[in-house]
Amino acid sequence: STAAKFRFLDDAFEEYNIENSGLEDAVMDVFFEICQTKEEWKYLVKKLDEHPSDWRKKLVMDIQREHLHNDKAYLEERMKKLHYGMDYWDLATFYVEKGETHKALDIAEQGILKGEGRLTELFQYLSDYYVKKGDAVNLERIVQIALARKHEEKPMLDRLFEYYRAQGNYEKAKGAQLKSFEFAGNKSYHAEYKRLKEFLKDTDWEQIEPKVFNEIKDKNVHDYLRICLDKNMKNVMLEVILNPPKNKWGFVLENDFDEFADKIKEEYPDKIIEYYLQKAYRNIKGGNRKTYSSAAVYLAKAKNIYTNIIKDESKWGQRFSNLKAEFKNRPAFIDEVKHL
């Protein structure tokens, strides 16, 4: 009954208000589950208001909007708290649901200018609207806001690129794509390189590619090697693998180049054997089961090259015997490599 729920809420909130159980979220879920009638939701609002906080105010707004459908109360509270991007987005979606597009747009515009924290949904909503309307001027404008506020720069530039590409405006699309490349994340340079190559005209690509290629070399050596592989520059790959680049302080970067070593082992079997044996040796020096297991993986790779590429099993047998002799006092290592 409603009366029983009121008593439960009274008792539960005495504990909940202490906020030291670690189960506050789970308890609040229970409160929301048991409330069904308008009277019960109003009582929950009353209990939440007894100890106001930003989180409780948000819960009250959710109740006013979703369960009590009290737009006036929701808007009154919501307008007092427009600080984060998600506050503006919450209000914008309220107007979207009401079919009041112009108010939603106005709030979203305010949000990308003044909101703190996450602005993703606001920029996405505005860009969707302006793309659908074919409004290049406003689309360009919100891209400039993204750049100025240092939020969502790449997604907005990519949106601008896609818009102009769909419009058949090559020069504008090219400009947006090249600007977007400046904001490529550390793990996406290879993909960005391929996107540029795919879209740009051959004459433009011939001019731009060397600069892009060198920038990637400085920013992400793994993506640089992937591009080298695409370009069949296996000699350059070998040089990087055997002589890893140094960071700005002059220290050699510890890079895992195994995927690239595997790609060039047939062209440079002797060099890649030494690469794998060195990695095995460093892991053996580590001196525990985990590093011995890693060493065994590298030794298996070296054995594979000796056996299947160089076709010299005897040389493998000799080197493997020498290695086991050197580390004969490490029984755990010997055990890890016994299958080789």
- What tens digit of pLDDT does each residue of 193-212 get? 999 999 999 999 999 999 99
- What tens digit of pLDDT does each residue of 5-24 get? 788 887 778 777 776 555 56
328: Cβ contacts below 8 Å, ≥ 6 apart: 334
In terms of C-beta density within 10 A (0-12 exposed, 13-18 middle, 19 or more buried), how is residue 184 classed? buried
- What tens digit of pLDDT does each residue of 148-170 get? 999 999 999 999 999 999 999 99
- What tens digit of pLDDT does each residue of 85-107 get? 999 999 999 999 999 999 999 99
Structure tokens belonging to residue 25 = 């979220």
Structure tokens belonging to residue 58 = 């948000």
Q: Which of 103, 93, 100 has the alpha carbon at shortest distance from 66?
A: 93
Judged against a pLDDT cut of 60, whether residue 248 lies above it is answered with no
The overall average pLDDT reported for the chain is 90
Distance between CA atoms of residues 13 and 7, nearest Å: 10
Distance between CA atoms of residues 185 and 30, nearest Å: 41
Q: Which residue has the higher pLDDT, 330 or 40?
A: 330
Predicted confidence at residue 51, as pLDDT, reads 76
- Which residue's entry shows tokens 């929701």? 74
Share above pLDDT 90 across residues of the chain, in percent, rounded to a whole number: 67
Structure tokens belonging to residue 91 = 């209000």
Predicted confidence at residue 95, as pLDDT, reads 95
Distance between CA atoms of residues 295 and 300, nearest Å: 9
- Range picked from 36-40, 121-125, 311-315 for highest mean pLDDT: 121-125
Give the pLDDT mean for 264-288.
93
pTM of the predicted model, to two decimals?
0.78
From residue 168, how far is each of 56, 154, 265 by CA, in Å? 50, 21, 45
Strand partners, 220: none
Whether 172 contacts 157, CB under 8 Å: no
In the Cβ-directed half-sphere of 92, how many Cα atoms lie within 13 Å?
24
Judged against a pLDDT cut of 90, whether residue 118 lies above it is answered with yes
Predicted confidence at residue 250, as pLDDT, reads 54
Give the pLDDT mean for 65-85.
86
In this structure, what is the dihedral angle of CA atoms 193, 199, 204, 208, given to the nearest 10 degrees?
A: -10
Q: Which residue has the higher pLDDT, 227 or 249?
A: 227
Q: What 3-state class would DSSP assign to 246?
A: strand
305: Cβ contacts below 8 Å, ≥ 6 apart: 265, 269, 272, 273, 276
CA 145 to chain centre: 22
- Range picked from 43-47, 199-203, 327-331 for highest mean pLDDT: 199-203
- What tens digit of pLDDT does each residue of 125-140 get? 999 999 999 999 999 9
Whether 41 contacts 63, CB under 8 Å: yes
- Which residue's entry shows tokens 């005897």? 314
Q: Which residue has the higher pLDDT, 265 or 186?
A: 265
DSSP-assigned letter for residue 157: H
Q: Which of 164, 119, 114, 121 has the alpha carbon at shortest distance from 140?
A: 164
